[in-house]
Amino acid sequence: MSVINFEFRNEVLKHNASLSYCYQCSTCSGGCPVALITQGRYNPRKIIEEAILGLQDKLIEKQDPNPWLCSTCQTCVELCPQKVEITEIFILIKNKCFNTGNVPEAFISQGRAVLENGVALPYSKAIITRREKLGLPSIKTAPVDEIKKILKETKFENKIPKEGA
């Protein structure tokens, strides 16, 4: 059984008050390509409903439905007749999932790459050679110590587990 978490509910509402405009018409799910393919196993309306009710355990811990199945196509937010800012609410929910470790590994490895290199994909030797052959200039990306300083300020550094940990 799910338990209402009032603190969680208030936090989401405070973050984005448009949540309370939702009247559960399901236009978001009707337009969602992933809801269609998964025959409703992924269902954005239900995620919004659980946020309105404050069902933190279902949404963040059990992930039912799984918010990581959102393809970020932004169709739902365009279609919503009530102008619920679904993107912003989903981002808050996914950020919370990440903070509690309920996140697919690929997101963590991307975060680690940015933390260690300043970019998600460092330039390999093979790519540098290929760039030269294509007549492309060499690129100086961000100084890593500067990026690390910023990620320390945002406390992101602490949230990325050490590799293999």
Partner 1 sequence: MSYDLFLGCVIPARLPFLEASSRKIFEKLGIKLNDVDGFSCCPDPTGIELIDHKTWLALGARNLSLSNNNGGIISFCSGCVETLKGVNYYINKDPEVKNDVNKILKSVGKKYEGKTEVKHFAQVLYENLDKVRENVEHPLIGFKVAVHYGCHYLRPSEIINWDDPFEPTTIDEIVRAIGADSIDYELKMECCGNPLDKSDKEISLQMIDNKFKSIQKSGANCVSLVCPACYQQFDFNQRELSKGKENGYNFPVFYLSELVALAFGFKPEELGLNFHRVRPKELLEGF
Q: Report the interface residues with partner 1, using CB under 8 A.
A: 33-34, 37-38, 66, 68-69, 71-75, 77-78, 87, 91-92, 94-95, 98, 103-104, 106-108, 110-111, 114, 118-124, 127, 130-131, 134-137, 139-143, 146-147, 149-154, 156, 159
Give the residue with the Cβ less far from partner 1, 1 or 140: 140
**Min CB(26)–partner 1 separation in Å:** 18
**Residues 26, 71: contact at Cβ < 8 Å?**
no
**Residues 3, 57: contact at Cβ < 8 Å?**
yes
**Min CB(3)–partner 1 separation in Å:** 26
Q: Pick the closest to residue 122 from 134, 109, 133 (CA basis).
A: 109
Rounded Cα gap, residues 122 and 157, in angstroms: 18
Give the residue with the Cβ less far from partner 1, 2 or 40: 40
Give the residue with the Cβ less far from partner 1, 57 or 68: 68
- The CB-side HSE value for 144 (13 A sphere, CA atoms) comes to 10
**Min CB(163)–partner 1 separation in Å:** 17
Rounded Cα gap, residues 144 and 118, in angstroms: 5
**Min CB(107)–partner 1 separation in Å:** 5
Q: Which residue has the tokens 């018409």?
A: 25
